[in-house]
Amino acid sequence: MKNRYNFLDNVRWVTVLLVLFYHVFYNFNALGVFGAIGGFADHQWQDIFCAMLNPWFMALLFVVAGASSRYALDTRTTKEFRQERTRKLLVPTTLGLVTYGGLLGLLNMHIADAAIPSEVPLLVKWLIAAVSGTGPMWFLQDLFGFSLLLLLVRKMADVEKVEGWLQRLPKWGLGVLMMGFLGVLWMASQSQIDNPSAAQGLLNLYRPAFYFVAFLAGYYIFSSERVHDYLAERAGVLIVAALVCGVGFCSEFYGKDYTSPEVVQGLWCNLFCWSGVLAMLGAFRRWANGTSPLAVYMTRSSFGVYVVHMAVCTGSCLLLRTSGLPVWAIYLLALAMTYAGSFALWEILRRVPVLNYCIFGIKSKRGQ
């Protein structure tokens, strides 16, 4: 068993780039999705980009994280794994929020028109803003909790025994297993609540039961080379299946809030999610399993870019929203500013002592 697979690294950084793309369109969506700035019209064709990405791309990141956790535990003790996850995941979501998250929090409060009373002390204002600026840190918070739970789960279900079972399973059995996990995922999706409040928006964002299933699937199933090869052999079919499910999903739910319980609990959403995950894994295993200087850089940088991007994206979108420019120009400029600004900010902050540890969990002074 290898402890690193190029195609999984490539899936991770490409998906992070899709997250940046998604958040520009999310900020301008007209579907009423929680926390967005708002659209340019009551109905916008470009909202289709959000609907085509949201059902599957974060589930994919959790699957990859689960597989990566297995490889990490193959080369680390439980204590080393826990310490590393604490530094890489918990530190940015605590110290990182206090030092950097307030920027996004202030932008979020501006969007929500929720000003802090002037008599509140400046430090308290910043802490309130920091909590409001959790943003993409939900992924790290979920992942940290899942990593700790994994240390308990793996004691009850040995991954090596599962690997041996996967090796003996016939190919048709692997296909049944893939479909069986769709059922588990669908059942986990039923944990959403239908309540028109901020609590619903947050639960629809964190989705702990749903994403924990995806994480465990990555750890126990999608860390197996046999499963990698199985998906790669069927990459073309999986891509077609994902496209068909995507069309079915959008036909059923286009124009609705794609994060609402009505949508995420539906069969079409879960079909599209799972087929998208399988298609991406199969396609990258078959056609993107190599590396290059660009891939090496992106593998190293994608985590930091993910951490800082939302403040850059939201700030850019707010600035451009009232610029008076044509809508197409606003989107293009927002995308350019989000990508360029996020990479630039990552490159700057990773070189700043103390901040690089607080925001990214980097120990070395040089940010390597």
Q: 30 lies in a domain?
A: yes
Q: Is residue 126 part of a domain?
A: yes
Residue 354 lies in a domain: yes
More confident call, 121 vs 313: 313
**pLDDT at position 3:** 55
Structure tokens at 268: 């079409």
**CA dist., res. 289 & res. 345, Å (int):** 29
pLDDT digit string, tens, across residues 69-128: 999 999 999 999 999 999 999 999 999 999 999 899 889 888 887 777 777 787 888 888
Residue 26 belongs to some domain of the structure = yes
Residue 120 has a pLDDT of 78
**Largest Cα span, the chain:** 68
Domain region containing 57: 6-360
- Residue 55's pLDDT band (boundaries 50, 70, 90)? very high
Q: Look over the chain and give the mean of its residue pLDDT values, rounded to a whole number.
A: 92
Query: Residue 197 has what pLDDT?
Result: 55
Q: Would you say residue 368 has pLDDT above 50?
A: no
User: For 280-305, what is each residue's pLDDT tens digit?
Assistant: 999 999 999 999 999 999 999 999 99
End-to-end CA distance of the chain: 26
- Residue pair 59/51 in contact (Cβ under 8 Å)? The answer is no
The long-range contacts involving 342-346, CB below 8 angstroms and separated by at least 24 positions, are 342/20, 342/305, 342/308, 342/309, 342/312, 342/313, 343/301, 343/305, 345/308, 345/312, 346/301, 346/304, 346/305, 346/307, 346/308
Q: Is residue 190 part of a domain?
A: yes
Average pLDDT, integer, range 247-269 = 90
Q: Is 365 within the bounds of a domain?
A: no
Least confident range of 39-53, 70-84, 132-146, 193-207: 193-207
- Answer whether residue 368 is part of any domain: no
1 inside domain = no
- Contact by Cβ (8 Å): 281, 291: no
Q: For 160-211, how does the pLDDT look when each residue is reduced to its tens digit (9 = 90+)?
A: 999 999 999 999 999 999 888 899 999 999 887 665 555 555 666 789 999 9
Place of tokens 């918990």: 90
pLDDT at 198: 57
Q: How many domains does the chain have?
A: 1
**Both structure tokens of 130:** 């920091």
pLDDT surpasses 70 at 314: yes
pLDDT score at 128: 86
Mean pLDDT score, 121-148: 89
